[in-house]
Structure 1
Amino acid sequence: MILASQSPRRIDLMREAGFDVRVIPADIDETALPNEGPFELVERLARAKAKAVASEYREQGETVIAADTIVTLDGKLLGKPVDEADAFQMLRELSGRTHQVATGVCIVRDDSVRSFVDITDVAFYELDDSEIERYIATGEPMDKAGAYGIQGTYGRILIEKIDGDFYNVVGLPIAKVVRALKTDERSA
């Protein structure tokens, strides 16, 4: 099985679920198309990653799994922060509000291409500037969409509640992935 992602969190989730994965990240253009909604974007990117890796690296009978995760607030995408000021602005926007985390997943097996999007609502506690600054000083938010990691030592204390799959927020709705793989096996 190939995991078309270099995300350490996705790699860990797949391995913890018992999968021996080859890690081959996809190199695709991740620019949104004109008038493309965030949920359409994340599914398209997952499909493009899976197909790109499958066409170049997949061996006979091998399955490719790709995923892409976005954070969106009121329809606005919050990517990975470019610097600490950007991280501060994102966390200020998320403070006291509920946003969505969406992960697009694509599974390529034989001639089958299957994709889906999982969406989780995440509510932040109200954060004051000093809390945000302390969090940014940990370095934890700098490589994560939305400038936080729910699984992180400090990121987890920003979250008031979630409605949906915790692991989706981490970067891969692993239970749904496992079930999709089992469904594909039964129908083969």
Structure 2
Amino acid sequence: MREAGFDVNVIPADIDETPIPDESPFALVERLAASKAQAVAAAHAQTGEIVLAADTIVTVDGEALGKPADDADARAMLRRLSGRTHQVATGVCLLRAAGDDAPAAQDVFSVVTDVTFYDLTDEEIEAYVASGEPADKAGAYGIQGAGGRMLVRGIDGDFYNVVGLPIAEVVRHIRALTA
């Protein structure tokens, strides 16, 4: 967001990220983004400030893939994604605190990008897991690092969404919220 010309402060939100039974992955990321924004706004937002919160998830066959629990889990996720197209969904919430000349406002939306993996060999999966990169990534890969160079055959949609924040879309929503 700094590259887009915004002055930002990063404030982690401590919320319960447990999925609701039968909640779709897409509804989950929007709900979590809204919960994060509301938690931060309640504790930190100043008059007229905009709070931005996001949550990203990888889905395949309608099932959410979170961060791997361990290396074995990372291997299993990568095998499941191998040779297939999956979706990366980012839920975003923009929350504007009430100001002198503007009421409070909230905008919640999501962006979905299709990502296709190469057919991966066991050796490729082992080398990638050994790099440590999958450990803290939803779906056990990061497109902005070695994962993007080694695993990803192509994408249909917003690259930055797969990184974790669809910046161009967010900027457009901020402009609409502040117009």
Aligned to 2:74: 87
DSSP-derived class of the 1:22 partner = coil
* AA at the equivalent of 2:158: D
Structure 1 residue 108 corresponds to structure 2 residue 95: yes
**1:111-122 superposed matches below 5 A:** 111-122=104-115
Contact (CA 8 Å) 2:118, 2:153: kept in 1 or not?
A: yes
Deviation of residue 33 (structure 1)? 0.4
Cα shift at 1:142: 0.8
- 1:165 aligned to 148, 158, 168, which one? 158
Matches of 1:118 and 1:70, distance apart in 2: 11
Seen in structure 2, the aligned counterparts of structure 1 residues 154 and 118 have a Cα distance that, compared at 3 Å, is closer
Q: Secondary structure at the match of 1:64?
A: strand
- Letter of the 2:149 partner, please give it: R
Q: Name the counterpart of 1:60.
A: 47
Q: Are 2:107 and 2:177, in contact at CA under 8 Å, matched by a contact in 1? A: no
In structure 2, how many angstroms separate the alpha carbons of the residues matched to 1:23 and 1:129? 38
Q: How many residues align?
A: 173
CA contact 1:135–1:155 (8 Å) conserved in 2: no
| Other-structure match for 2:28 | 41
Give the deviation of 1:70 after TM superposition. 0.2
**SS in structure 2 of the partner of residue 15 of structure 1:** coil
Q: How far, CA to CA, are the matches of 1:162 and 1:36 in structure 2?
A: 26
Residue 124 of structure 2 is aligned to residue 124 of structure 1? no
- Partner SS state of residue 2, structure 2: helix
Query: Residues 125 and 159 of structure 1 are in contact (CA less than 8 Å); yes or no, is this contact kept in structure 2?
Result: yes
Q: C-alpha distance in 1, partners of 2:70/2:63?
A: 18
Q: One-letter code of the match for 1:67?
A: A
2:142 aligns with one of 149, 152, 161: 149
Corresponding residue SS for 2:32 = helix
Name the Cα RMSD after superposition: 0.9
The normalised TM-score by structure 1 is 0.90
Q: Partner amino acid for 1:21? A: V
Query: Which amino acid in 1 is paired with 2:171?
Result: V
- Quote how far apart the aligned CAs of 1:60 are: 1.2
Q: Residue 184 of structure 1: CA displacement?
A: 1.4
How many Å apart are 1:17 and its aligned residue?
A: 1.5
1:47 aligned counterpart, secondary structure: helix
> Which portions of structure 1, spanning 4 or more consecutive aligned residues, are displaced by more than 4 angstroms?
none
Residue 8 of structure 1: aligned partner: none
For structure 2, which runs of at least 5 residues remain unmatched after alignment? 98-103
Instruction: Name the SS of the counterpart of 1:113 in structure 2.
Output: strand
Structure 1, unpaired ranges of 5+: 1-13
Residue number in structure 2 paired with 1:21: 8
Preserved contact between residue 140 and residue 155 of structure 1 (Cα < 8 Å): no
Letter in 2 for 1:166: F
